[in-house]
Amino acid sequence: MSAESSQSTRIEEQPWPSRRYAWYVVVVLTLAYTCSFIDRQILTLLIEPIRRDLDINDTQFSFLGSLAFSIFYTLLGIPLARLADRANRRNLMTAGIAFWSFMTSLCGLARGFWPLFGARVGVGVGEAALSPAAFSLLADYFPRQVLARAVSLYSTGVYFGAGLALMIGSTIIHLVSNAPPQHIPLLGELKPWQLTFMAVGALGLPIVALMFTIREPARRGVSGVTDAEASSWTSLRAFMALNRKALTCHIGAFTLYGIAIGNYLFWSPSFIMRTFGWSAPQVGLTLGLMMFVLGTLGVYTGGWLADRLTKAGHADGILRAAFMGLCCGLPLIVLTPLMNDITFALIGLGAAVFFLAFPQGLPAAALQVMTPNALRAQMTAIYFFIGNLIANGFGPMLSGLMTDYVFGDPAMLRYSLAIVCGIAAPLGALLLYFGLPAYNAAVQRAQQA
């Protein structure tokens, strides 16, 4: 037996890290993910003042919220993931947090559409370093039977972050809505929305400090070959060819469903404000609390159900749980924007948020289970590359384009939202259903390897 094989065997025989410390790592990573979504989502509550001050329409704004962020978030995700599969994942994530926090603050200095577009690109570049490395790290901290719950808890950062962004943003807007522009030394005159970006960017500094309390764990499930060989393009292509159907259905399904998620996260505040005449502070506090509580509960419930199904012996338990959540959410996603009464609209939106969040952590958890250790970050990045570029990069743009160029009326946003989500979400659920047998076979192959 080679020295490399002996070392790999010793790693596999080592006990898993302390469960208490492993959950501490999840908490720190969740805080980082929450911070990333605050930086990403704060833009949605600032739509109206930015549109007014920079003189842009819904289509241009959807570029800022989707394509500007997603294009480099996805393009750089794969090379950063290859680095994560070979190097220290903790250090890579820490550098990413520091960079995106700086770029968020830089959004506050934008004086026009293109400078703001460039700063949003920078936010995406920094955030590309986080999730692929984080999912890979968690797979080395938790055994398969509890991995879905750990990944789902990490994924609650989406709704923690989105909810906090809306609540923090609405509070700041309420406090400064009638305040005149402020003159900051060296920076010049800044509007309230610009100060909001700078305040939110500063939230990343304590997260950077916390990241240094995380230890890089030993990589499990690696063979006796070198890291470079195990994570090579040849190995990646061979794995993808062997699992072509499972990966196609998996990535396609969650990309389509992600279009609905992206549209709701991006356009819900504007939908309520334009349809029912609510103010930004009202919308921010209400939707923020809804996402913070119901979204978080949905993500955790999805992870809990996936672990229960896996422990019951279902090799496809993770995706089976996701499919259940998708089916329950379909009617709510389509009908909620069509409600004419604010009470029913908010009830429908709360339920929709729960079921949109239900599968949030499950796609990445499913990939970790079926993918060799040395390819996990790269496979996650490929999923993000396709899913985020389409769902988050172009998804919200579909509603913006339809509102501007089909209906020609900002008040018709609700119908654009219903149409886009009513097409994408059912197709995603159908594709996931047809992919379950292939995913089951892929997991069983991984367990036998």
Closest C-alpha among 358, 229, 356, 270 to residue 306: 358
**Residue 241: how many CA atoms within 13 Å on its side-chain side?**
6
Please list the alpha-helical segments (H only) found in 85-191: 89-107, 113-127, 131-139, 144-155, 157-176
Is residue 246 assigned to a domain? Answer: yes
**What whole-number distance in Å separates Cα of residue 302 and Cα of residue 358?**
5
**For tokens 């800044």, what's the residue?**
190
Residue at 9 is within a domain:
no
- Report the domain count for the chain: 1
Task: State the residue range of the domain holding 307.
Answer: 14-218+233-448
CA distance 191 to 189: 7
Q: What is the sign, positive or negative, of the torsion defined by CA atoms of 295, 300, 303, 308?
A: negative
In a domain, 161, yes or no: yes
H helix or E strand, kind and range, residue 183? strand 182-184
As a whole number of angstroms, the distance between CA 37 and CA 281 comes to 19
**387's tokens:** 């899913």
| Cα–Cα distance for residue pair 334/128, rounded to 1 Å | 31
Q: Which of 389, 387, 320 is nearest to 358 (CA)?
A: 320
Residues in the chain: 449
Token pair of 209, please? Answer: 């400090």
CA 331 vs CA 113, 164, 414: distances in Å:
37, 27, 15
**Is 250 a domain residue?**
yes
Establish if 56 belongs to a structural domain. Answer: yes
Residue 174, phi then psi, degrees to nearest 5: -60, -40
Distance CA(302)–CA(255), nearest Å, equals 18
Let me know if residue 1 belongs to a domain. Answer: no
Q: Closest by alpha carbon to 306, among 248, 360, 377?
A: 360
pLDDT digit of tens for each residue in the chain (449 aa)? 444 444 444 445 568 888 899 999 999 999 999 888 888 878 877 777 888 888 888 788 778 877 777 777 777 878 888 888 888 999 999 999 999 999 999 998 988 889 999 999 999 899 989 988 998 899 899 987 888 888 888 888 878 777 887 787 677 667 655 667 777 777 778 888 888 888 889 989 999 999 999 999 988 765 444 454 445 778 888 999 999 999 999 999 999 999 998 899 888 988 999 999 998 788 888 988 998 899 989 988 998 999 899 888 888 899 999 999 999 999 999 999 999 999 999 999 999 999 999 988 899 889 988 988 778 888 888 888 888 778 877 888 899 899 999 999 989 999 999 999 999 999 999 999 999 999 999 998 887 76
Residue 44's φ and ψ, nearest 5 degrees, are -65, -30
| Domain presence at residue 223 | no
For residue 148, give the amino acid letter: A
Locate tokens 């890579």: which residue? 92
- Whether 45 is covered by a domain: the verdict is yes
363: Cβ contacts below 8 Å, ≥ 6 apart: 250, 254, 322, 383, 387
Asked if 92 contacts 136 with a C-beta cutoff of 8 angstroms, the reply is no
What amino acid is encoded at 245 in this protein? K
CATH number at residue 45: 1.20.1250.20
